[in-house]
Amino acid sequence: MREKPLLVLDFDGVIVDGIKEYWSSSRQTCLNILSSQEKEFIFLPNEIPPTFKAMRPWVHHGWEMVILAAECSHETSHLNLKGIEKFSNNYSKECSSALNRWGWTPSQLQEALNQTRREAISNNFHQWLNYHQPFSLVVQRLQILEEEGIEFAVLTTKSIEFTKKLLNSFSLQPKLIFGHESGSKINVLNQLLNRREIQGFIEDRRSTLEKVLEDPKLKSIPCYLASWGYLKPQDQKNLPSGIKLINLETLREPIANWS
């Protein structure tokens, strides 16, 4: 029996708005790993700092959120002294520099963040769930996708462990789930395309979609930039011909009408 075509979607920023959880977990991770002396020089409020929220579109990996939380909370950090625009213009270098200043490594922060999430789930699962707000129209659309003879897969930089818990809470059962453990999104798409027809890839990170366009093996995949996601100020302007901006109204239409 021939397998059904797949619609592939990013998770955070496409299916769910997880900014409250990101701040809560990143804040708590900082509190867990900072020394008593370091805590005297920072202020980690319960409310999400505007700077933290504004930097969200640049984040590739969970550990970066911990660095940003620390940087937001220290008055003399590079992020606060230079401002969002200058910091974001050299985002990777600034994150590397911040890692050195704080004496942290990406793997250390990622594991600490994962442990914070495990503890949050164990201590108050419903509160952890409530920090994630699903985009209701997206969830509704995915729940009826099979009526078109199409299945969906989730491709995220979150861990598979946490993604599954959230999808279950939204009553969503994707055919496949790929997390940060699965490798880069480009590699996953290449492997997936070897065995499945991909009807489209919805992502809120323009740079990821541009990498898909650059790979000649992936040219058959229709790429869609989610207008409701975590977009940088210039993301919707001058899109290359291979990337189509999709809004929630278009999402509700049959996939055959998207292109």
Can you name the residues that pair with 7 across neighbouring β-strands? 152, 200
Using the predicted structure, report yes or no on whether residue 156 has a pLDDT greater than 70: yes
pLDDT in tens, 84-126: 999 999 999 999 999 999 999 999 999 999 999 999 999 999 9
Q: How far is CA 60 from the centre of its chain?
A: 7
| C-alpha dihedral, 92 to 208 to 155 to 57, nearest 10° | 50
- Angle, alpha carbons 112-117-118 (nearest 5°): 95
CA distances from 19 to 86, 101, 106, 244, 255 (A): 22, 25, 20, 25, 28
Integer Cα distance of 5 and 195 in angstroms: 10
Mean per-residue pLDDT, 191-219: 95
What is the pLDDT at residue 15?
97
Using the predicted structure, report yes or no on whether residue 145 has a pLDDT greater than 90: yes
Integer Cα distance of 29 and 89 in angstroms: 26
Using the predicted structure, report yes or no on whether residue 259 has a pLDDT greater than 90: no
What is the pLDDT at residue 25?
96
What is the pLDDT at residue 237?
93
DSSP 3-state assignment of 231?
A: coil
Using the predicted structure, report yes or no on whether residue 2 has a pLDDT greater than 80: no
Q: What is the DSSP string of 50-108?
A: HHHHHHGGG--SHHHHHHHHHHHTBTTSHHHHH-HHHHHHTHHHHHHHHHHHHT--HHH
* Average pLDDT for the chain: 94
What is the pLDDT at residue 41?
87
What is the set of domains in the chain, with CATH numbers? Answer: 6-17+132-257 (3.40.50.1000), 19-129 (no CATH)
pLDDT in tens, 224-248: 999 999 999 899 999 999 999 999 9
Using the predicted structure, report yes or no on whether residue 1 has a pLDDT greater than 90: no
Integer Cα distance of 121 and 162 in angstroms: 9
What is the pLDDT at residue 249?
96
What is the pLDDT at residue 250?
96
